[in-house]
Chains A and B, each alone.
Chain A
Amino acid sequence: MPFLHERLPNGLDVIAETSESAVSTSVGFFVMTGSRDESDALWGTSHFLEHMVFKGTPEIPGDAINRRFDDMGASVNAFTSEEDTVYYASVLPEQQHEAVDLVARMMRPALRDEDFETEKLVILEEIRMYDDQPPFGADELCRAAFFGGHPLGRSVLGTADSIRGLPVAAMRDYHRRRYAPGTMVLAASGAVDFPALVESAKRLCGAWEPVTAPERLVSVSPRAAARPGRERIVRPAAALDYAVWMVAGPDEHDPDRHAARLLSVVLGDSSGSRLYWGLVDSGEAEQAACIHQDFLDAGVFITQLSCDAADVDELTERIAGIYATAASGGIPPAEFERAQNKLASRVVLGGEKPRRRLFEVGLDWSHCRTYRSVGDNLRIVEQITLDDVHRVLKTWPLDAPAAAVVAGPGSGS
């Protein structure tokens, strides 16, 4: 799968991983902005702006954007995280030109007053929707408790108050500063006509003015929870308790992040892991999982537990015991190899889907200006050693004092 790259004079990077056998083309813009780039006054702006991008440009009304994507038969969407805003469309190869044309034009949205007020109502509904469903805000409160004043402590959606209070002028200014060619990547994967992609980029994005983007608020990696201890969200009608806790782990520049991921598979994968056999297989927990998440300047191990409220203390203790056993006794080679095989299989199977590759290739380039093929990713997994995993266990203790939140009916302590 050849990788191709060209940088426009204004700084916009155009990249593609091409595949002769693919029957589809995926294209996307990766914008280096997310909730960590917001101030209190702008809380929720990145995600709200992602919605507004679909409401049209000065020339194209929002409903025409939706119609044009459907005319192409495109599968189109977007997401916003703490660090990225990503817009993507998957189309048949003959629609590449049209898809790139539309997505590129959308990056310069109209941000009309009346659309802003209507879409505000949709965002408020999205906030209510998540607030009504598990884990009932426990994940976001836990993030705030772990990161404290660090920019990653901010939730992506914002709050009902921050969204209601946001003026459209602030969003326009945010867009001007953050959607600059030097902080965006146009990426494509699958059956890509790269010369045509570059041509489209020059025509549509070549006149975008370079803006000196504000520095990202990068801090020192937190090695400990800012607010250790357990907080509670009471939802009297909830059937289960939902517990989330976080401790520090390697960040995205730390070579040990790969071993951290493998460790999370050993300990807390959705099947066949120590938490699975210890809590889920027995039917004591609805879910018990451990995942590793990495950011530019921080990493976390997140443990998620859902169970009967009466059992949450006992099962939390049991998970602590499982982590302590791993730290003291290590991981047997057979268990390590099984997790390694699972990860390798995920790399190969995921590598078959152009959409999935678009995200991997686009985010790698956006964050690190690095390209890694499926083969590279497979080698990374194969080169993880048991020593690496044991070093992660020692360097980033999972039984460190955590920031924890339990949401549920309130019968637990």
Chain B
Amino acid sequence: MAKITLDGLRHSYMPDPKGPQDYALKSLDVEWQDGGAYALLGPSGCGKSTLLNIISGLLVPSQGRVLFDGRDVTALPPDRRNIAQVFQFPVIYDTMSVFDNLAFPLRNRGIEESRVTSRVHEIAEMLELTSMLKMRAANLSPDNKQKISMGRGLVREDVNVIMFDEPLTVIDPHLKWKLRSKLKELHQKVGVTMIYVTHDQTEALTFADQVVVMQEGEVVQIGTPVELFERPAHTFVGHFIGSPGMNVLPAELRDGAAWFAGHRIELEGPITPGEGRHEIGIRPEHVSLAEAGLPGRVRKVMDMGRYWIVEAIVEGSDKTRVAAMVQSDPTAVGDAVHLAFRPDQTRLYRDGRIATTRQGGNA
């Protein structure tokens, strides 16, 4: 087990990168504590798999260092880093039994057979694979195969970190939930540092203590699931996390206040000084239909079961839709409504990054 430090990492797949657009990873500094559960969240192509392969040693970064407990491992091959990785598609050794699959990493390291047997049984018990130990791994269902992949990581006692690269992609939806809670449970039991890569916000938010949100090779925010949801530091985070995502409305600054479509909008706190493109961000959860507020017309009503999503166009705006989450009494399409924003949840973003300070709180 180890603390993982990424120090000034950059990576380009091109031999001679020119500008930032040639980099799959643009300057990354992250520190992961020993025994933590972390998630790397971002859309496809944001560089999360590249980052994962750099940590596992399958890829050597163009610049920067990877440190395990302060020891530089940047140039070490995967088998000398003591890491484990679970891939998107279950990797199992078809010809071997489940037992042999789990024993494989230990046998390759020349561990004596009695120790291998006891360790495999221990891990199989944990993963509920004991009854299958004698079966051929090739004949198992995808979720059990994926458990074997995890097991091959867990079976080694000295493993520094276990990495998961979208491990639930091929699992049936009703088993996803089960396997995810199993994973969480394992993390609590074993206490190994785990890094979970996914583009699925539910997976990331339920698994991790800390989520690293990435976009186009950059980290846009690191925080607990609650922080990411409640106070996105970047419009991308607001938009990417949540369903539907945060409303991002074009804004202008006048007289020290933010204006949207000719209406003055109350914000959570004072605006930080600076120049740039401004946007107002508010989650649909904090927009309500009220007696007074921004006048608008309903364009779409979606029944989500326990609530409704109402999309309205605010008068005077350039067809910008504002989504509101409504608990009762939805209106019909075409109705005139008034939208109220909760001021303490309304924020200003400058060039994508947050530009308001919370009153009485930390920035």
The yes or no verdict on A and B being binding partners is no
Chain B interfacial positions (CB closer than 8 Å to A): none
